[in-house]
Structure 1
Amino acid sequence: MEPAQKDRTPFSDIDALSAQMSEIVLDAIVAMGRHPEIQRVRRVAFDSLRPATGQRLLDAGSGTGEVARLLAARVGASGEVVAVDHSTSLTAAALTRHDGSNVRYMLGDVRALDLPDNAVDGVWCERVLQHVEGADQAIAEMIRVTRPGGRLCLVDTDWDSLGFDGMPAGLGDAVLAHVRSHFIPRQQDMGRTLRRRLVAAGLSRVSPTPVTCLFTTPASAAVVLPMVNPRVPAESWATPPGLRDEWLASIDAAGASGTFLAVLTIWVVAGTVPG
């Protein structure tokens, strides 16, 4: 994750979090990577990026390095993955998880990459730009470091697509109205803007793919959606007294009755650098 924007969500400045919240966020990142719906999104992204043996790839906003290591398995010993993240704590976590594959971990800002022009064959950037103030600047940097003919694959969320069913009408809207700035980045429409941004940047063969994630139990949704997760401390919710408890109780009731539903669309958009 790339906290270049000093936003109010926990993911926007992970190094500044309390020890308790830092542990929660790190656990959340790891758990999200294991979630079947996020893995489904990543399969679409891998198909779009098309990593190949011998390539040098960049994982921009690499977090704990899970995807970087998966990419390293695709490029093999003759290739390399450069994993760049802004967070010291996440980079340290990535190093502790390193599996010996050909990954080089670096601290850095996706808006000002410490890499030369045409340095990589492709770029992976997953759920990062929603946290970045200056997303187009970051995209321009990714293009700069990618050789002509190389691929960019951007993955990001359209938070406006978030929807619930099974709870009392209007209750979810009331909760989201209070927690939106705490749980949802300011760039909440980032996912659906990626195609426009890549077209405007001059990339060719831009392919947008929406992947709608479906959660039919509260436990499944809580892995990806913080406003469903009772483990998130009450002070992070910023709701009027009683509203958080009412919301979580309604979620539990919907789960018990089998009527809980949550949906969220994540976009996978890839394009080719001209030349």
Structure 2
Amino acid sequence: MEMNNCGMEPAQKDRTPFSDIDALSAQMSEIVLDALTAMGRHPEIQRVRRVAFDSLGPRPGQRLLDAGSGSGDVARMLAGMVGGSGEVLALDYSASLTATAIDRHDGSNVRYLTGDVCALDLPDDCVDGVWCERVLQHVDDADRAIAELARVTRPGGRICLVDTDWGSLAFDGMPAGLGEVVMAHVRGHFTPKQHDMGRTLRRRLVAAGLTRLTATPVTCFFATPESAAVVLPMVNPEVPVEVWATPPGLRDEWLACVEAAGASGTFLAVLTIWVVTGTVPGR
């Protein structure tokens, strides 16, 4: 998952910590990296990725771009699919994440790059396909980024976008209305302001002129607070207090209700992540 500005000011405080990792303190950077690693191992995120792999359809010999590659886990999986005759370009905005990806390299055919998804330093028609997972929710101009992804993809190549519809996030087992109050305060801190990105992906690909579109909503289900906390920071008591944007007392009230719902077995959280894929038409 790329942390990309696309023109945003890194010091803005209405951005999630994921938006510009290199601007974080060493402690926060480590927390975010650990969170990204844990998310990638979560069964629900792995389920989303299986849908996306099937939709993109990587083939041996292809050259693919992972736009927003984070620590490189998906890029290395894609490299296994394209084989020794193929190649994966793993590009991320964050120099620190790219360094971590290089440290974790497994010898597969992956080339690690730093770059801006809104201004790719790559030639036209240079890749056979693109994977872009949970990136566009963090940029200011998603359509500009999509245009860049289409530019570097050869005609007939596929672009697979994976992103979250934070507006779909719902809880059960807690007092009615409390979740909505909390979400109103943490939006822009725990969730991007572009909270509906996932559901807009198909429309954006239509506007960009892509064809043969597929769109699959994957509803992630979390039956315990511990499971949810891996993906949903607003239920994670380990998130530092200073990151919260809630009025005094609201954080503790909310987390106490989450803990009680978990203890009683009534906790529930659901979140929809969209997988949308399209084909780049002839120039």
Q: TM-score, normalised by structure 2?
A: 0.96
CA deviation after TM superposition for structure 1 residue 271, in Å = 0.4
Counterpart of 1:64 (choices 23, 46, 71) is: 71
1:125-157 CA distance string (max 9 Å, x none): 000000011111110011010011000000000
Secondary structure of the residue aligned to 2:189 is helix
Deviation per residue, 1:18-72 (Å, 9 max, x gap): 1221111000000000000000000000000000000000000100000000000
Q: 1:143 aligns with which of 150, 154, 163?
A: 150
Distance in 2 (CA, whole Å) between partners of 1:168 and 1:254 is 10
Q: Which residue of 2 aligns with 1:91?
A: 98
| CA positional deviation for 1:169 | 1.0
C-alpha displacement at 1:176, in angstroms? Answer: 1.1
Match of 1:40 in 2: 47
Match of 1:246 among 246, 249, 253: 253
Q: Deviations over 1:63-95 (max 9, x none)?
A: 000000000000000000001100011001101
For 2:265, the equivalent position in structure 1 comes to: 258
Tell me how far apart the structure 1 counterparts of residues 142 and 248 of structure 2 sit (CA, whole Å).
36
- Residues 10-159 of structure 1: pairs in structure 2 closer than 5 A: 10-159=17-166
The alignment status of 1:199 with 2:206, answered yes or no, reads yes
Q: CA deviation at 1:204?
A: 0.6
Describe the SS at the equivalent of 2:59.
Answer: coil
Q: CA deviation at 1:268?
A: 0.2
Does the alignment pair 1:213 with 2:214? no
Q: How many aligned positions are there?
A: 275
Question: Paired residue for 2:239, among 213, 232, 236?
Answer: 232
In structure 2, runs of 5+ residues without a counterpart are none
The amino acid of 1:237's aligned partner reads: W
Taking the aligned partners of 1:97 and 1:266, their CA distance within structure 2 comes to 27
Q: What does residue range 160-171 of structure 1 map to in structure 2 within 5 Å?
A: 160-171=167-178
- Secondary structure at the aligned position of 1:183 is classed as coil
Deviations 1:79-112 (A, max 9, x none): 0000110001100110111000000000100011
SS for the counterpart of 1:110 is coil
Residues 4, 117 of structure 2: 8 Å contact kept:
no
Contact 1:3 1:14 in 2 (8 A): no
Return the alpha-carbon distance in structure 2 between the equivalents of residues 107 and 88 of structure 1. Answer: 6
C-alpha displacement of 1:3: 2.3
CA contact (8 A) 2:3 2:21 kept: no
CA distance in 2, matches of 1:58, 1:204: 19
- Supply the distance in 1 between the matched residues of 2:25 and 2:259 (Cα, whole angstroms): 28
Note the C-alpha offset of 1:235: 1.0
Distance in structure 2 (CA, Å) of the matches to 1:203 and 1:170: 40
Output the CA distance in 1 between the equivalents of 2:188 and 2:135: 17
SS in 1 for 2:187: helix
Structure 2 equivalent of residue 272 of structure 1: 279
- The percentage of aligned residue pairs carrying the same residue is 79
In structure 2, distance between residues paired with 1:113 and 1:218:
39
Structure 1: where are the runs of 5+ without partners? none
Cα separation, 2, equivalents of 1:206 and 1:238: 38
Look up the equivalent residue of 1:2 and give its one-letter code: M
Moved over 2 A (4+): none
| Cα distance in 2 between the residues matched to 1:3 and 1:228 | 25
Conserved 8 A contact 2:133-2:162: yes
> In the alignment, residue 157 of structure 1 is paired with which amino acid?
T
User: TM-score, length-normalised on structure 1?
Assistant: 0.98
